[in-house]
Amino acid sequence: MTALKAKNLTLQRGQGQNSKSILSGEQCDFELQQGEFVHLKGDSGVGKSSLLSALARLIPIQAGELYLYNQSAKEIEPSQWRQSIAFLPQKPIMFTGTVEDNLLYPFQHIKVQQKTLPTHEQLGEELSSLGLNSITLQQQANTLSGGQQARLALARLLITQPQIILADEPMANVDVDTADLIYKRLQQFCAQDGTVLITRHGDLQADKYIYLQGNGQLVVEHECN
């Protein structure tokens, strides 16, 4: 089943003489299937972060079509779209307060619709799945290490139960063991019928690879078994 579809996307970064073409429209198509783990690749500065932001509808596309489970983005309010498609930025965002405050932030401030507030047990289970057994819900978030904050940001996203995760370099600036925990948790999300589109410098085992090129085009390749 196709989870996310992009067709003939035109995407630019900046305006006027400072604008840069990221996708040029014609044949800039790709699909993410439910359950797929997809690696978005490309040179530094080519526009991978901008593409993820556009797919999350945080920045506009100039032309083309986006579909979420075959429903056009034109028929879905941006706030509703972002409850199904969650964007994980490269730099973890921590809010003032405790670990629990940060985990529950989407429910208390963004008003995640039709989703029950998770229990302490569920919060603890999500933290444990990312190797955060040593921290408590009442611990101040600003006391955590960079690697712990990266995993907490992912845990906060996962408890909102999105269908698709767009992850921008989630394994950057963390140690090897932390990167492995993040990778395995995202793979587990896919095994539970979630879909992941992830950027990372270097190699990464994935079901499919999308190469964003500097000429405004993209190439899609499937993993060869």
Containing 14, the helix (H) or strand (E) segment is: none
Per-residue model confidence (pLDDT) at position 181 = 93
Q: Report, as an integer, the average pLDDT of 74-99.
A: 94
**Higher-confidence residue: 22 or 3?**
3
Per-residue model confidence (pLDDT) at position 114 = 57
Q: pLDDT > 90: what percent of the chain?
A: 74
- DSSP assignment, residue 5? E
> CA 55, CA 49: separation in Å to the nearest integer?
10
Q: Report, as an integer, the average pLDDT of 118-145.
A: 95
Task: Tell me the CATH number at 48.
Answer: 3.40.50.300
Angle between helices 120-129 and 146-158 (to 10 degrees): 130
Per-residue pLDDT band at 225 (split at 50, 70, 90): very low
CA 166 to chain centre: 2
**Per-residue pLDDT reduced to its tens digit, 179-218:** 999 999 999 999 999 999 999 988 899 999 999 987 888 8
- DSSP assignment, residue 93? P
pLDDT of 139 strictly over 50: yes
Residue 208 CA: distances (Å) to CA of 23, 30, 108, 198, 222: 19, 11, 36, 11, 4
In the chain, the number of structural domains is 1
Structural domain boundaries enclosing 25: 2-222
Of 33, 12, 41, whose CA–CA distance to 24 is shortest? Answer: 12
Cβ atoms of 148 and 132 within 8 Å: the answer is: yes
Per-residue model confidence (pLDDT) at position 149 = 95
Per-residue model confidence (pLDDT) at position 215 = 81
Per-residue model confidence (pLDDT) at position 112 = 62
Q: Report, as an integer, the average pLDDT of 171-182.
A: 91
> Rg of the chain over CA atoms, in angstroms?
18
**Per-residue pLDDT reduced to its tens digit, 117-129:** 899 999 999 999 9
> CA 14, CA 16: separation in Å to the nearest integer?
7
